[in-house]
Structures are given as C-alpha cells and as structure tokens.
Structure 1
Amino acid sequence: MKSILITGASGFVGGAVVEYLLRQYQGKDINLLLLVRAETPLAGLARIKNNLEKFGLTAEQLSSLSETNILVGDLSEPDGFTQDSRLDNITHVINCAAIASFGNNPALWRVNVDGSLAFAKRMAKVTGLQRFIHVGTAMASMPDKDSVFYEDMPDNEHNEDLVQYTASKRAIENLIREHCPTLPFVVARPSIIVGHTQLGCRPSSSIFWVFLMALKLKKFTCQLNDSIDVIPVDYCAMVLVNLCLSATIKHSFYHISCGEERCTPFYAIDEFVAKANNTSAIINDYQQVSYEEMSGSRKQFKDILGPCNDKIILRAIKLYGGFAELNVKFDNQRLLDMGMPRPMPFTTYIDKCVNTTRGLSIPELMMVDFK
C-alpha cells in the first residue's frame, strides 16, 4: 500500500492535491496522512473538510477522511509532529506547506526554511520512502526580463528577489540537497497558479485580483503585449500527484508551467474579462505607467477600487507589477516528455474566475495573498 503524506492540505495547492487524490484514487490501495495546524485531530479534520468543500467534493468523498488521516502539527514547530511513529510508514511525500504570503509575515523564514529542513531531515530517515516532492516556485529562479527559462539553467544569482517568499523557496531547495543527500528529493516549481478550470476562484482568489485591479485602474506597470505564464491549480495538482507516484522519473527538477506556446498576453486577459462581464475591453484606454506615477494617483484608489488601504494597494502594485514586467516564460519540456498534457489556457476559464469573484471588492479578494 502507498502511504502519502501531504503537507499544506488546508491551503490552495495542497487542497487541490487532496481533491485530485480523492477523485481519482478513492477506493484504491492508497492511504493519506495530512499535516494540518490544529489543536486536535478532530479540529484538523474539520479544517481539511472545510477547505475541500471549496473544491466541490461530495459528502461521500469527504466521508472517506477521518481523524486517522490527520497529523496535527506546524512547520514552525516541527518537533511537535516529527516524532509521530506514523511517519516511519510513509512511502511518498508531497510537501505543499509554506507561507506563500507576499506580505511581511514574520514566520515566513521559520516555516519555509527552518521547519521545512527539519521535516526533510526526519523523512530522510524513513527507509521505505520512495519519493519526496517539494513544491517550490518558478520565480525562485530570478529569471531575466523577456526570457524563456529552461529547466537545465541555473538560477540567476545576478538578479534580486522581488519578495522574500521566492528567496526562502530557493534557499530550502539548496539546504535540503546539502543536508539530505539520501532523500529521494524532487523539486516541482509551478509558475503562477491562478484559479481552477471548473471552479474558477471558488477555492482561492489568489493572484486573480491583480488582473481585476489593473483593469479597474486602467493602468499598470506592464505592457498589454507582455505575457504571463499562468496554470490552473487543478492542473498543478494532477502533475504533482503524477510526479509523486510515477514508478520512475528522469529528473530531480521540473517546471509546472504552460510553456512558451500557452502563455497569456495581458490584452487577452482584458478581452476575456470584459466578455465575461459583458462590458468593453479597456485596450484603447490602458496606460503603462511607472510605480512612481501609480503612487502619485493613490488618492484615486478608493474611488475606483472601493474602501481600501492605499499603502497596501501600492505595495501590491510594486510587488506584482515587478513580476508582470518580467514577461518571462518557463519551459515545460520535461513534463511533455513524460506524456503529461499541456494545461488549459488561462483564457478558457477566465469566465469562471470572473463569475466566482463577482460582487467582491479588490481589498476583499487580495487578503488571501497578504496574510
């Protein structure tokens, strides 16, 4: 029997991984152990089920999970769960847990690096462990502007991280390789994860609000001809599970991305959001402006976006504008060589993202990324 430990199951990517496993592998010879922050296994189970309900799972599918599937613990305090004897029976790990906030979360390094390294060291002692999939981020490569970043390229040390999140994800990869040489370690770096192909932003509004904000403001720091490498969370989850459970894989590093051919230009996002809202695209009114120009118009934010903290909005513009200006694409040839399908283009499910965020303000939607 395969025994799969999933961290971050109460989050966006981890929840999608559990959703995929429950839909595709329910009744098969697989046991799940889910790491979750909670006071008790019962409370942890409630957190997991509450998250999975956002993914549209039925009561019958959710009923397959019980307290026995719950490992209560927190990566910020790994000693609290790494002594659990059930870890010695784990055959596969999908490590999705991280503080993914682009805000200044004081626990970010403690969780993403220190706690994750302690967890990896513990799992390296498990004799039956066959694979440890670690979820990073493609932006940790610090790609050059207007480039295609290939999977055999080293990270660009001459560039600076736009946020500490990407720095922490790159650091933990290197530390695990250094300190856990026997761990069957495979890094999967997703590009920008936005929405779900069937559920839109019901599971999470992460990142999608940035596009809505730019369209409402009718200006941003990138050009409309620039493109962005977007994948849906359900595609990311499918790839992670397949990387985890495949009998053999050739590489220890993979991009999960849409690749050069399916990157989405910002003008197409404008077009499809307008179509979903039955309004006109802003293409003729859009202005590319500098961050300084955006800062100079901050008094207009509340009139356009509704009640908001203009300092947080400006911070968001600076951070996400920096990523948008990169206009970078991430090669996904290694997945294609495995026979993996290409992800659905962002434009094919933008309408679902629009419909599931309708009526919510930008400040409400953005809080998921500024925890």
Structure 2
Amino acid sequence: MAFFHSEYFIMSNLLITGSTGFLGGAVLARAISDSSIRSILLLVRADSPAEGVTRVRNNLAKFGCHEHLLNKINENNILLGDLAYSDDFLDDARLSTITHVINSAAVASFGDNALIWKVNVEGTLKFVKRMAEVSGLVRFVHVGTAMSCVPEAGTLVTESMERKPEEEHLVQYTWSKSTIEQLMIEHCPQLPLVIARPSIVVGHSEEGCRPSSSIFWVFRMALMLGKFMCSMEDKIDVIPVDYCAEALLLLTKSTELSEKVYHISAGDAGSTPFIEIDAAMAAALNQKPIRSTYQQVDYSELVKNRKDFKTIYGPCNERLMLRAMRLYGEFSMLNVRFSNKKLLDLGMLPPPRFVDYISRCVETTRDFTIPELMKVDFK
C-alpha cells in the first residue's frame, strides 16, 4: 500500500538503526523494495554477521516480506553494534560513506528499564556525533515521539521544540526522547537533522499485530474490563506502523524540508473516538459493543477490581496490570491529537483510521492473553 503520491529522490547509501524492532523493521520492509535506494547498511545486535542476517530476516518475515526480498539481506548489509556500546562500532569505515540515516533504534519500554537512558541518550548522542563528522551526509532522520512534548489534555498539538521538565513526563522513555533531541541540536549544529515524532503506533494496516502487539493490548484490556479512566467520546491519535515507515522514508528522501520537526500522526480528522474502537473491536470479535454498560472510573476504582483480574485476563501479575492501567489510563484521558498538516503538505496521504484495520489486529492476537501481549511494552 502506497501512502504518498510518488517516489521522490534517490538515496545513495542508507543506514537504518533498529531494523530488528517494530518500526525499524517496517522501514526496512519498505526500503528493500525501493529502487531509489542504492545500498542499505543495518546496525544490528548480534555475535556475527550471519546471526545478524538471521535476526533481520526473521523480523522482516513478520511484515509479510516474500522470500526474494528476504534474500536481499546478506552479511554485507550488517554493521554489528549496539547503541548501548556505541564505541564498539563507530570506527567502522562504512559509516563514512553513508548519505542518509533513519535512526529508529531505542529502548521503547514503558517499564523501568535501566537501558533507557544508556541507549536513548548516551549511546545515541555518541552515534550522532560520529555521523555529524561524515562529509557526505545529506539527511539524518531521528525518530522521537509526539508524546515527548507532554501535551495539554484536549488539544490539537503542533510541532514545537519547547521542552517540559522531567517531573511532567509520565514515563522515563518520553523524557529520554525529549532530552536527546535537545542534545543533538546543541552538540551537533552541523548535522542535517530532521526529527520525526510519531503519535501512537499500533499494528500494521495489512499484517495486524503480527509484527508486534505493542499498545494494541491496552484497548482489549480496557474493553474486557468494561471500565477505564477515559470517556467513550475521547479520541486517540493512532497510526499503523507501515504508514509511519513510509512517512520516515519520505522525510529522508525529500531534498528540501522547511521544518526541523514533523509529526507522523492521524491528525484531528483521523483520530478515533473510543466508542468507534469499541464498535469495531466488537464486530471483529462477533460480540456486542460495551458502550451501554461501559463505566468511566478513576484509578482507585480499578484497584478495587484487582481480585477479578485473573478471572478476566487469566494468570497475571496483578501489580503489573494495575501499573499498566494507571499509566495507559492517564494517556487515554489526554484526548490529544497531533497536527499532521506539515507532513501532508509534503505529499503524504492521510493514514488509514485505526478502525479500518482493527479487525486484522484482533485476528492476529486472538490466541494470546493480555499478559502475553503486554510483555513487549514492559520489557
């Protein structure tokens, strides 16, 4: 599925970080069939190039890539390395030949992961400084998150570099992404930097949750419980990962960009109210919507239901479930939409709405419990 009007410009040597992950994998799945890209280098954590190839191919298969595309990835495409230990790969001579970078690697955990700061800030900054020295570098697209701005509830948010203090961030992940944006600009003013801030990335428009169940389980969890902290009329700004990947490639290819920061989002028109999500989820599960019985409650009410969690969700860690409910409940109450006008002005088409592909997400998660699905976001 094409999400922008045409192929834009030739990229010589593209470096992608995070290609064994959700978003980076989607970027690579699109890039390997793009005739405008001459060569691709992939930063991969592995003990050998052969192991790196296996990891990349296994991830690409989740995105529906055919075997002839998988076979395009070989050991020449692999740069062994880990942003947690950037010094180990920064002297590789191939980095000096790179013309374009899509930096999607990050520890995208909403848990208390000790690697968040080491990877997302310290290791990334070392990598950025190295790439800023490359004389032929044309574009460095860094993937942040729209939530790093700590938006005000009920607003349509436009792009800004205004930074909120750490105590206003709900999780360390968004604080780390906000911090690295500022550090890149301060330490590497010569870097041809573009910051892409995706909104909430859920599923794939064709493959559903086969590539990753990230975030999707939250909707199932709330609807199974029949109560949550948001209103059914609140909206949420959701995009599929393949749309986000296409937008990143568009930002990488465009020769002239007038802005430093771009949202990749559903925008005001494409954001979806929870009542529509309920109806679409119910239709996919062949059940009745819960809108007539749904209760908007505060967190204390959810705590009272903890003894019912194992009955509703199966074997689970009640404390972790409550933590997830509190965290995602606060996000769901924001009713925030992120303006996508700047991206659409570049020729990007509006994204599919979440309800347009939610049935694929349901089908690909049908055989998994909520505790199984949520592991990806609390690693």
Normalised by the length of structure 2, the TM-score is 0.96
Q: Counterpart in 2 of 1:313?
A: 321
Q: Counterpart in 1 of 2:125?
A: 117
Does the aligned pair in 2 maintain the 1:75–1:116 contact within 8 Å?
Answer: yes
2:26 is aligned, of 16, 20, 23, to 16
Taking the aligned partners of 1:10 and 1:249, their CA distance within structure 2 comes to: 28
Structure 1 residues not aligned, in runs of 5+: none
Q: Counterpart in 2 of 1:43?
A: 51
1:152 deviates by 4.3
Does the aligned pair in 1 maintain the 2:166–2:175 contact within 8 Å?
Answer: no
Taking the aligned partners of 1:152 and 1:119, their CA distance within structure 2 comes to: 24
Taking the aligned partners of 1:271 and 1:171, their CA distance within structure 2 comes to: 39
| Residues 4-62 of structure 1: CA deviation (Å, up to 9, x unaligned) | 0000000000000000112333xx55100000111111111111011001001111111
1:158 deviates by 9.4
Taking the aligned partners of 1:153 and 1:38, their CA distance within structure 2 comes to: 35
Structure 1 residue runs of 4 or more that deviate by more than 2 Å after TM superposition: 152-159
| Residues 261-319 of structure 1: CA deviation (Å, up to 9, x unaligned) | 11100011100000011110000111111111111211110000111000110110111
| Residues 166-194 of structure 1: CA deviation (Å, up to 9, x unaligned) | 00000000000000010001100000000
SS at match of 1:33: strand
SS at match of 2:47: coil
SS at match of 1:344: coil
Which residue identity lines up with residue 176 of structure 1 in the other structure? M
Q: Counterpart in 2 of 1:94?
A: 102
Which residue identity lines up with residue 349 of structure 1 in the other structure? Y
Does the aligned pair in 2 maintain the 1:198–1:352 contact within 8 Å?
Answer: yes
Q: Counterpart in 2 of 1:142?
A: 150
1:154 deviates by 2.8
Which residue identity lines up with residue 251 of structure 1 in the other structure? E
Q: Percent identity at matched positions?
A: 54
Q: Counterpart in 2 of 1:186?
A: 194
SS at match of 1:282: coil
Does the aligned pair in 2 maintain the 1:151–1:332 contact within 8 Å?
Answer: no
| Residues 226-267 of structure 1: CA deviation (Å, up to 9, x unaligned) | 000000000000000010011211111100001001110001
Q: Counterpart in 2 of 1:281?
A: 289
2:237 aligned with 1:229: yes
Taking the aligned partners of 1:366 and 1:78, their CA distance within structure 2 comes to: 29
Does the aligned pair in 2 maintain the 1:143–1:156 contact within 8 Å?
Answer: no
Q: Counterpart in 1 of 2:4?
A: none
Taking the aligned partners of 1:128 and 1:243, their CA distance within structure 2 comes to: 18
The residue correspondences of 1:52-63 to structure 2 (distance < 5 A) are 52-63=60-71
Taking the aligned partners of 2:135 and 2:272, their CA distance within structure 1 comes to: 44
Q: Counterpart in 1 of 2:347?
A: 339
Distance 1:153 1:29, change over 3 A: closer
Taking the aligned partners of 1:102 and 1:247, their CA distance within structure 2 comes to: 35
1:127 is aligned, of 125, 132, 135, to 135
Q: Counterpart in 2 of 1:267?
A: 275
Which residue identity lines up with residue 157 of structure 2 in the other structure? F
2:213 aligned with 1:205: yes
1:153 deviates by 6.8
2:178 aligned with 1:170: yes
Taking the aligned partners of 1:321 and 1:2, their CA distance within structure 2 comes to: 44
Taking the aligned partners of 2:219 and 2:64, their CA distance within structure 1 comes to: 25
Taking the aligned partners of 1:347 and 1:153, their CA distance within structure 2 comes to: 31
Taking the aligned partners of 2:161 and 2:289, their CA distance within structure 1 comes to: 38
Taking the aligned partners of 2:365 and 2:37, their CA distance within structure 1 comes to: 38
Q: Counterpart in 2 of 1:369?
A: 377
Q: Counterpart in 2 of 1:3?
A: 13
2:159 aligned with 1:151: yes
Taking the aligned partners of 1:32 and 1:173, their CA distance within structure 2 comes to: 25
Taking the aligned partners of 1:35 and 1:181, their CA distance within structure 2 comes to: 24
Does the aligned pair in 2 maintain the 1:142–1:157 contact within 8 Å?
Answer: no
Distance 1:141 1:29, change over 3 A: closer
Does the aligned pair in 1 maintain the 2:31–2:37 contact within 8 Å?
Answer: no
SS at match of 1:275: helix
Taking the aligned partners of 1:144 and 1:71, their CA distance within structure 2 comes to: 41
Does the aligned pair in 2 maintain the 1:143–1:155 contact within 8 Å?
Answer: no
Structure 2 residues not aligned, in runs of 5+: 1-10
Taking the aligned partners of 2:347 and 2:184, their CA distance within structure 1 comes to: 28
Taking the aligned partners of 1:156 and 1:175, their CA distance within structure 2 comes to: 14
SS at match of 1:285: coil
RMSD: 1.2
1:370 deviates by 0.7
Which residue identity lines up with residue 116 of structure 2 in the other structure? L
Q: Counterpart in 2 of 1:251?
A: 259
SS at match of 1:2: strand
